Amino acid sequence: MKSFTYERAKTPEQAAAAVAGRPGAKYLAGGTNLLDLMKLEIETPTHLVDVQDLKLDQIEKTAEGGLRIGALVTNTALASDMAVRRDYGVLARAIVAGASGQLRNKATTAGNLLQRTRCPYFYDTNMPCNKRRPGTGCAAIGGFSRQLAVIGSSDQCIATYPGDMGVALRLLDAKVETVKADGAKRAIDFADFHRLPGNEPQRDNVLEAGELITAVTLPKPIGGTQLYYKVRDRASYAFALVSVATVIQKDGSGRVAFGGVAHRPWRVEAAESAFPGGARAVTEKVFADARPTEDNRFKLKLAERTLASLMAQARS
């Protein structure tokens, strides 16, 4: 691990200014992903700004009837919150599908959104990777790609977003609240938060230098039967080959978002009008522009079958 300096911020504005003003600085909260990457020298921050004292660990009702989730709320606290379990069941189910109990006790809401890809070539520092070292190439293209993207990829990168919580937040039309180094605040639609790789696969999201996530907000509950299912190579503690988050209403209408298939949680709202026609009708539209490899073409059928299973479960 490379040497670094360290400080504990007292306010969100102070933290944002500290990171923006020092090249190579990064935030430290739960550290469940960052510290692993530092040990492998994939991440080599020159300075860490610890944000654990910022008091962003509350879940509150909003005036609009939704919830405001502080950036430092742990995954365990969020999944066990009674309002989340009652009104946003798909979110609670997605969270407990991820990681282990120990990790969820430390992992934070903001950190979950910022976790890096688990592409094996990103983690192997002997291999070229445009996400880890821009301009070096992508060893995954033409390599072993079973776990990687089937849609939204580019000629520079076919990595996937690894999270579960983010798939549910995309389904629920969440927003990400931030503060910038100059103190300016903004709310980013979750649909716009994560980027596709394009020609800059090293950029996972639209945050500016030093911009700090302070909260995630959920709109008022939408009801329906809320389900999340994650298909993976092991029964637990594994990342998704395909995951499906869905809300299905009694009249047969619904929403669906997919994980494990693209560089960001994947949802195509225009395809949701096909819900009455069944899972195949929906997934044919969702994955109309898919570019799978021979290794991961199976994900397209897997996504259809997983959605079909959840639709049947909702009807039962």
Q: Which of 18, 35, 52 delimits the end of a domain? A: 52
Structure confidence at residue 236 (pLDDT): 82
Q: Would you state the structure tokens that stand for residue 316, as one six-digit string? A: 């039962």
Confirm whether 135 is domain-assigned: no
Which CATH number goes with the domain that contains 269? 3.30.390.50
- DSSP output for 222-254: --SEEEEEEE-SSSSS---SEEEEEEE-TTS-E
**Cβ neighbours around 174 below 10 Å, total:** 25
Q: Does residue 238 lie in a domain region?
A: yes
Strand-pair category, 254-259 with 212-218:
unpaired
Q: pLDDT class for 1, splitting at 50, 70, 90?
A: confident
How far apart CA 272 and CA 288 sit, in angstroms, is 13
Within a domain: 252: yes
Per the CB < 8 A criterion, the answer to whether 40 and 125 are in contact is yes
Q: What is the pLDDT of residues 235-269, one digit of tens each?
A: 888 899 999 999 999 999 999 999 999 999 999 99
Domain count, the chain: 2
Domain residues for the domain of 253 are: 225-315
| 191-219 pLDDT tens trace | 999 999 999 999 999 999 999 999 999 99
pTM of the predicted structure, to 2 decimals = 0.96
Task: Indicate which CATH number applies to the domain containing 20.
Answer: 3.30.43.10
Could you tell me if residue 183 is inside a domain?
no
